[in-house]
Amino acid sequence: MAQRDQTQQETAAPPTLGIGMVGYAFMGAAHSQGWRTAGHVFDLPMRPALAAVCGRDRAAVEAAAGRHGWAAAETDWRALIARDDVHLVDICTPGDSHAEIAVAALEAGKHVLCEKPLANTVAEAEAMAAAARRAAARGRSAFVGFNYRRVPALAHARRLIGDGRLGALRHVRAVYLQDWLTDPASPLTWRLDKDRAGSGALGDLGAHVVDLAQYLAGEPLVAVSALTETFVRERPRPAGPSGGLGGGAAAGGTGPVTVDDAAAFTGRLASGALASFEVTRMAAGRKNALRLEINGERGSLAFDLERLNELSFHDHTEPAATAGFRRVLVTEPEHPYLEAWWPPGHTLGYEHTFVHQARDVVCAIAGGTPDVPTFADGLQVQRVLAAVEESAAKNSVLTPVTL
Amino acid sequence: MAQRDQTQQETAAPPTLGIGMVGYAFMGAAHSQGWRTAGHVFDLPMRPALAAVCGRDRAAVEAAAGRHGWAAAETDWRALIARDDVHLVDICTPGDSHAEIAVAALEAGKHVLCEKPLANTVAEAEAMAAAARRAAARGRSAFVGFNYRRVPALAHARRLIGDGRLGALRHVRAVYLQDWLTDPASPLTWRLDKDRAGSGALGDLGAHVVDLAQYLAGEPLVAVSALTETFVRERPRPAGPSGGLGGGAAAGGTGPVTVDDAAAFTGRLASGALASFEVTRMAAGRKNALRLEINGERGSLAFDLERLNELSFHDHTEPAATAGFRRVLVTEPEHPYLEAWWPPGHTLGYEHTFVHQARDVVCAIAGGTPDVPTFADGLQVQRVLAAVEESAAKNSVLTPVTL
Amino acid sequence: MAQRDQTQQETAAPPTLGIGMVGYAFMGAAHSQGWRTAGHVFDLPMRPALAAVCGRDRAAVEAAAGRHGWAAAETDWRALIARDDVHLVDICTPGDSHAEIAVAALEAGKHVLCEKPLANTVAEAEAMAAAARRAAARGRSAFVGFNYRRVPALAHARRLIGDGRLGALRHVRAVYLQDWLTDPASPLTWRLDKDRAGSGALGDLGAHVVDLAQYLAGEPLVAVSALTETFVRERPRPAGPSGGLGGGAAAGGTGPVTVDDAAAFTGRLASGALASFEVTRMAAGRKNALRLEINGERGSLAFDLERLNELSFHDHTEPAATAGFRRVLVTEPEHPYLEAWWPPGHTLGYEHTFVHQARDVVCAIAGGTPDVPTFADGLQVQRVLAAVEESAAKNSVLTPVTL
Amino acid sequence: MAQRDQTQQETAAPPTLGIGMVGYAFMGAAHSQGWRTAGHVFDLPMRPALAAVCGRDRAAVEAAAGRHGWAAAETDWRALIARDDVHLVDICTPGDSHAEIAVAALEAGKHVLCEKPLANTVAEAEAMAAAARRAAARGRSAFVGFNYRRVPALAHARRLIGDGRLGALRHVRAVYLQDWLTDPASPLTWRLDKDRAGSGALGDLGAHVVDLAQYLAGEPLVAVSALTETFVRERPRPAGPSGGLGGGAAAGGTGPVTVDDAAAFTGRLASGALASFEVTRMAAGRKNALRLEINGERGSLAFDLERLNELSFHDHTEPAATAGFRRVLVTEPEHPYLEAWWPPGHTLGYEHTFVHQARDVVCAIAGGTPDVPTFADGLQVQRVLAAVEESAAKNSVLTPVTL
């Protein structure tokens, strides 16, 4: 293996960017890994410091702080925001608390990174975007965690499309298939509660594919037609409390599922390209199958998150005798983010998207211009999801996406 | 390799089933191969004889007869139908002539096999189905050429679903992606003329995936919501005449494309399962990508026509540690049609679907009960396609499929 | 679908090439399909006629003649050779009878096509090659049935290598994995009897991969080092007679396996490229996995017979950011043999190699120059296999291949 | 996504295990990531502390310490060993310094983790193993860095084989294909210098596949037959110094490659199973293709490092109609190491092997019994590699592996 050149001198220590994270369950663990690692891999203009983590249960949040490397623990997110050593608030809670925490943090002069979906309603997302605009005037940034944009293969796909390698786009098709609700006995967690989660597969998985479709195509969806479905309408209540801010249903009996299990929708992009989407948590055997394909007049791209180091690329300008989808192993130094990692062929995983997100957020705050999605992007995706729900409620009629 | 046991005695020669085929272009060539080969591979209760082929151009049809092994050539389909040595009329022409030929053949006491889509309109298909019902009373059969049901992997999939291996169905998703219209300079053939072809990708490709989805699921679509699109609305007229009955556009200039290039539609099956479909001739790099996936509570199946010897099967009842989609190479004697072919691992191709179709049609006529789709099936698919077009014309509103 | 142009006039009927086939089990069925079909697909300079088939059992061979479309049946191969309507003798028997039949047929002035491996010993193969040289002087040809050269993807691979797309070759690796002997209770057929079959996996599977490696590389193996193994040394004798000339072990008890179950060998090609091979009938789950990969300084190719319509091609001169193995679906009119078949994306199967073989043999006899392997090629492969066995017997020492 | 349960209380802080690392190039960066991360993911009985890193160039090693999170930097490995805060010495240098450092560290009472291959010669490896035995008596451990044993899919494969799911083994085949030397203009680094690296692809890649083959099979290779090759015998000297201890060739001109570019070898395992191996740095398009397949009487396993989250498993006891290689996505909590990571379907990458290695080493030192390879294992692999070289030097004769 070619050795990495380690000879560059590091001179003056970069300034610190103190992070305060709210929530420490799955997303919190992933974000922690991102903040801990980014500075060891990338040359960053600021050094992220894991200042404090926040959760409601004192013992649990202290344990999480120890586990994930946070210097302090808080049990009140307002106290977290108030800390001087916190410069960026990272919101990893369920969607029902995003707006309140984000707006308060921005008003307190903090930068914010908020998990997707940005909010549970368009109204909340609009309020957040408005707060972000006000904060921008004071030099504060507000980002939304569409981490899959930082999968190197997808960042590379965006480059290829931006370079015109696909020509005029004809089709975008995307599915995001999981199977953890296949079993009707799977418990009723907060993710199945509309009040907490906003929606089901649509907000959790649909937000990702809608964002990616628009990001890769470089243009918005203008209208959608949708079907949604809840196949299993009652599920057993879970026995114990769940972690962090996510938690705490009472045990025993069954309760109603108030979100969608699945959604299938079609749409048109601004250019006239056709789009089709399907998201579900009941595709037995599909664990994390976010699959995208984009067809253009000059070529096509395909991707599967379960094989996230690979991008399939078909160059339609090649002679037919040797044309075909290429399996590009996106591990070359020429590929986005890869120069900082391992030699060609040495693959990355899911969590690297959070390392890349940490890098991009730090660079953006330090004045660079990486392509980091903002609250405005989160709001626009929220509007697409709202149009999906509206169409599903109106017999699938093609429904425009609010500009 | 295990040797095939050839020792069975063949005693009295089976009776002859004289075939008369109308049209001899792509489908005609494929059907010829099916009729020629079936009796050499399967033990058939009747011997198909390639009695006569019909086309409008005398020299061309005689050449085709020689090439494809037909004993005689006719230039008038009415003359073909009138021949005593023709017992079954095989219709391989564009859709605008299906109804007239099929009804006449049935009324003349012939069996009929008609290529899909059954007709260009529901009204035509209804007339054909009515003629088929009348003919059935006289012991004549009318089949529609949904040849992909005879891909062994798909016939096997049907068995697995019929056996309950997938449990309650949740999702059916199917795409049929081709790319031969990607180039805007691709010529304006009869397939792009609504008067000849009825519709574009929808009738050509959509008929297949709608039929397969319903066949595999064992239940009909009850409603659909659709978008259709014609991306390239003018194309150059082709220079020369095309073959068989398919032919003959004037040369030079451009003309309007009057059919869809692509269609995306969603729907519900009778059981409540969600279905999604996409068909297109503009997916650069996808040559014949008929891809199906069906997810149920107990398992899932996936298939790709470009790898037609393989069926992916996930058994969701297995322990998680060893569960996963299996690549079943559908070449075992236990698999449909395979006992008559080669040892395990020796693959079949596209044209074998026509050999299997010939076998099934012969067996059905001889009184057996293979699962051969009839004009009633073709009519039902036509109704789904009509509902797709109606929905697309009505702003994608969810449109019921006429029973 | 683009229509096939059927307008070419067929004028004077081409002369007939009468085929006489010896043996009618698996290979006989496959060859029959090839002879029956080639003239319906390709424009051939001579018309193959299925004149007569030969086997020892009168009733069985007559049944086979009826099934496979042969005009007559013989029970003595000498009688077959003597027939005036037989111009080419097609030998589909076990290896122990190849030499005698082939030499007699050539001396009788017939063309010969002989299944691989050419013979059970180098001495027999030498005698056959000598007879072929004598026959050539009289205008008779002698071909060996390396049918996999006619897989379109492999013929295409040969073209790409011949065109220099791989540059200097570094590696050839090939495996041919089957699993039908995995079960120790699998019966003792003639294929496990050294006297009948010559060798086991080595002759049956190794002959194919050795031929392909040399054919694709365009250069011979000059030395090999080998291990062979018989994992299961006793197997149950089969109950009944086997078909055609292949047959007839007594029932009951067990008997010794006298051929190899598997062989692993390495070698050097004339250019210095390294080669590695493995053949086995005990690779559970691998049904017909003939897998080849060739690496050169400018590119690589990979192939798997279980997906025989695909060729993987890596062009190492491409920019790294978009380089990768392409899945070329070898179904384009630009690909070998494909212009005569179906539109792009419509796949072929195993048996098409025999249709292509029939085409190539007919064209070669008619004076064309297709690239059909001769007895000289078969002899050379036999010498490689002999060197493998010699090396295995001599503690794997690197053993030169006789020129 | 199911939430991770974070409620376990962490009570008394675990003791510290101070790490001192020698070398900080590619392997050093990977090991650093492992040591930094393991404690944040797994519940460890000791807390690894990145005490000090060592390299010859003061400025460079200090920069590396900052980058990778080491508390101190040393320029003399003897000084590193002497530090009281170093309890384990992690050797990430080229092979020529392994023995000296490892023996000194063990004699100084430190635990040792040494990168593979253990040494450049069997004699060195024997000295190291002897030192390890002496150290063991004093409670010190000596591990070798066969990190690929900690790919979850491979650890899972070991379990399945250990549980008898494959039955009696018949075949082990393994290749490790890279392509970074394909270009003859690729520079002459220390990895191409026999004095520094010991051997080429053989030691670098072959050590991995030999270890894995034996580890998975649960039995040693007893004899090997080999070919090795250096295709490009002169390469340009690199311009600048390389990093860490790896460094420093003079610039300009060309120099001889003194190691192998590739090796192909076969062998026998103790049980009689056949093994075949190929390793190369000149397989254009293959970046990190460590591919393994193991066939047994009851099943088979296959793996590709470029898709390291997947294990292919064929259960040969299943009915043929539904049997086939399953793509097991090794991301379930039931899979090795996975309970500590993300929800199902969220994949890991290359570097996680080093996190797992850190975990296993810490647990082993703390008295647990994870399956961590020792210097004895490293010596045994060295003996296999020596037998490979001996066979290659002796005309490929089958050469026993010293016990």
pLDDT tens, A271-286? 999 999 999 999 999 9
The answer, yes or no, to whether residue C139 has pLDDT greater than 90, is yes
Does the beta carbon of D259 lie under 8 angstroms from any beta carbon of chain A? Answer: no
pTM: 0.94
pLDDT score at D251 = 59
Q: Which of A160, A165, A326 lies nearest to residue C324, judging by beta carbons?
A: A326
Alpha helices in C222-312 (DSSP H): none
Residue reference for tokens 């009505």: B394
Contact between residue B105 and residue B142 where contact means Cβ atoms under 8 Å apart:
no
pLDDT score at D363 = 96
B326·D321 Cβ contact <8 A: no
Q: What residues contact D20, with CB distance under 8 A and at least 6 apart?
A: D51, D52, D53, D54, D74, D80, D81, D83, D86, D88, D89, D90, D110
Does the beta carbon of A71 lie under 8 angstroms from any beta carbon of chain B? Answer: no
Dihedral in degrees, nearest 10, Cα atoms D176, D177, D183, D189: -20
D178·A345 Cβ contact <8 A: yes
Does the beta carbon of A37 lie under 8 angstroms from any beta carbon of chain B? Answer: no
Chain B residue numbers with beta carbons less than 8 Å from the beta carbon of C243 are 3-7
C313·A322 Cβ contact <8 A: yes
Tally of CA atoms within 13 A in the half-sphere of C47 that contains its CB: 13
Binned at pLDDT 50, 70 and 90, residue A251 comes out as low
Task: Enumerate neighbours of D (3 or more CB pairs within 8 A).
Answer: A, B, C
pLDDT score at B12 = 63
Return the sign of the alpha-carbon dihedral for residues A184, A187, A193, A197: negative
Alpha helices in A247-395 (DSSP H): 352-365, 375-393
* Alpha-carbon distances, residue A207 vs A307, A386, B157 (angstroms): 20, 11, 33
Q: For residue C118, what are its two tokens?
A: 């050419």
Domains and CATH numbers, chain D: 16-147 (3.40.50.720), 151-348+373-400 (3.30.360.10)
Return the sign of the alpha-carbon dihedral for residues B204, B209, B212, B214: negative
C320·A329 Cβ contact <8 A: no
DSSP D401: P
D334·B323 Cβ contact <8 A: no
The answer, yes or no, to whether residue A210 has pLDDT greater than 70, is yes
Alpha carbon D281 to its chain's center: 17
Rounded Cα distance between D170 and D274, Å, is 6
Chain C residue numbers with beta carbons less than 8 Å from the beta carbon of A329 are 324
Q: Tell which residue, A51, A59, A54, A47, has the closest CA to residue A28.
A: A54
Contact between residue C215 and residue C149 where contact means Cβ atoms under 8 Å apart:
yes
What value does the CA radius of gyration of chain D take, rounded to a whole number of Å?
21
Does the beta carbon of D232 lie under 8 angstroms from any beta carbon of chain C? Answer: no
Q: Which of D69, D287, D331 lies nearest to residue A287, judging by beta carbons?
A: D331
Residue reference for tokens 């969810």: B398
**Stretch A13-29: mean pLDDT:** 94
Q: Tell which residue, C214, C208, C212, C226, has the closest CA to residue C264.
A: C226
Rounded Cα distance between D123 and A195, Å, is 69
Query: Would you tell me how many other CB atoms lie within 10 Å of the CB of residue D327?
Result: 22
pLDDT score at A240 = 59
Binned at pLDDT 50, 70 and 90, residue C226 comes out as very high
Binned at pLDDT 50, 70 and 90, residue A245 comes out as very low
What value does the CA radius of gyration of chain C take, rounded to a whole number of Å?
21
Closest approach of C119 to chain D, Cα-based (Å): 27
Q: For residue C328, what are its two tokens?
A: 């070329």
Does the beta carbon of C60 lie under 8 angstroms from any beta carbon of chain B? Answer: yes
Pairing of strands B289-296, D142-144: unpaired
Q: Which H or E run contains B358?
A: helix B352-365
DSSP A28: H
The whole-chain average pLDDT of chain A stands at 93
Return the sign of the alpha-carbon dihedral for residues B381, B383, B386, B390: negative
Alpha helices in C69-206 (DSSP H): 77-82, 98-107, 122-137, 152-162, 194-197, 201
Rounded Cα distance between D351 and D357, Å, is 10
**Stretch C381-386: mean pLDDT:** 97
Does the beta carbon of A178 lie under 8 angstroms from any beta carbon of chain B? Answer: no
* Alpha-carbon distances, residue A218 vs A157, B204, B282, D60 (angstroms): 11, 32, 20, 42
The answer, yes or no, to whether residue D3 has pLDDT greater than 80, is no
**Stretch C282-305: mean pLDDT:** 98
Kindly tell me the number of DSSP H helices and DSSP E strands found in chain C: 11, 17
Binned at pLDDT 50, 70 and 90, residue D403 comes out as confident
pLDDT score at C12 = 63
Does the beta carbon of A90 lie under 8 angstroms from any beta carbon of chain B? Answer: no
Closest approach of D327 to chain C, Cα-based (Å): 13
To the nearest 10 degrees (0 to 180), the angle between helices B122-137 and B98-107 is: 10
pLDDT score at B379 = 98
Terminus-to-terminus CA distance in chain D, angstroms?
A: 50
Residues 288-327 of A with CB under 8 A from C: 313, 315, 319-327
Chain B residue numbers with beta carbons less than 8 Å from the beta carbon of A319 are none
Q: What residues contact D105, with CB distance under 8 A and at least 6 apart?
A: D81, D89, D91, D112
Chain A residue numbers with beta carbons less than 8 Å from the beta carbon of D7 are 57, 59-60, 63, 241, 243
Closest approach of D41 to chain B, Cα-based (Å): 21
Q: Tell which residue, C197, C25, C69, has the closest CA to residue B5.
A: C25
Rounded Cα distance between B292 and C313, Å, is 27
The answer, yes or no, to whether residue A3 has pLDDT greater than 50, is no
User: What is the ipTM metric for this complex?
Assistant: 0.93
Does the beta carbon of A287 lie under 8 angstroms from any beta carbon of chain D? Answer: yes
Rounded Cα distance between B354 and B31, Å, is 6
Chain C residue numbers with beta carbons less than 8 Å from the beta carbon of A324 are 313, 326-329
Q: Best of A161, A165, A166, A182 to disrupt the B interface by mutation (most B CBs within 10 Å)?
A: A182
Closest approach of D5 to chain C, Cα-based (Å): 40
Binned at pLDDT 50, 70 and 90, residue C10 comes out as very low
Contact between residue B276 and residue B263 where contact means Cβ atoms under 8 Å apart:
no
DSSP C187: -
Binned at pLDDT 50, 70 and 90, residue A140 comes out as very high
Residue reference for tokens 């008596």: D137
The whole-chain average pLDDT of chain D stands at 93
Alpha carbon D180 to its chain's center: 19
* Alpha-carbon distances, residue B172 vs B168, B291, B296, B308, C230 (angstroms): 12, 11, 9, 18, 48
Instruction: Spell out a b/e string for B27-39, using b for 16 or more CB atoms within 10 Å of the CB, else e.
Output: bbbbbbbbbbbbb
Chain A residue numbers with beta carbons less than 8 Å from the beta carbon of C332 are 320-321
SS3 C49: strand
Q: Which of D175, D266, D395 lies nearest to residue C397, judging by beta carbons?
A: D395
Q: Tell which residue, C123, D1, B267, has the closest CA to residue A29.
A: D1
B362-382 pLDDT, tens digit each: 999 998 776 799 999 999 999
Closest approach of D187 to chain C, Cα-based (Å): 16
The answer, yes or no, to whether residue A248 has pLDDT greater than 90, is no
pLDDT score at D10 = 43
**Stretch C242-250: mean pLDDT:** 42
Does the beta carbon of D241 lie under 8 angstroms from any beta carbon of chain A? Answer: yes
Q: Best of D160, D316, D322, D330 to disrupt the B interface by mutation (most B CBs within 10 Å)?
A: D322
Chain C residue numbers with beta carbons less than 8 Å from the beta carbon of A323 are 326, 328
D342·A329 Cβ contact <8 A: no
B9-62 pLDDT, tens digit each: 445 678 999 999 999 999 999 999 999 999 999 999 999 999 999 999 999 999
pLDDT score at D238 = 87
Chain C residue numbers with beta carbons less than 8 Å from the beta carbon of D325 are 285
Chain D residue numbers with beta carbons less than 8 Å from the beta carbon of C323 are 285
Q: Tell which residue, A16, D170, A360, has the closest CA to residue C182.
A: D170
Q: Which of B175, B274, B324 lies nearest to residue A229, judging by beta carbons?
A: B274
Rounded Cα distance between A274 and B228, Å, is 8
B150-175 pLDDT, tens digit each: 999 999 999 999 999 999 999 999 99
The answer, yes or no, to whether residue A5 has pLDDT greater than 70, is no
pLDDT score at C263 = 98
Q: Tell which residue, C143, C39, C126, C45, has the closest CA to residue C89.
A: C143
Q: Which of C7, C37, C307 lies nearest to residue B60, judging by beta carbons?
A: C7
> A37 φ, ψ to 5°?
-95, -30
D274·C225 Cβ contact <8 A: no
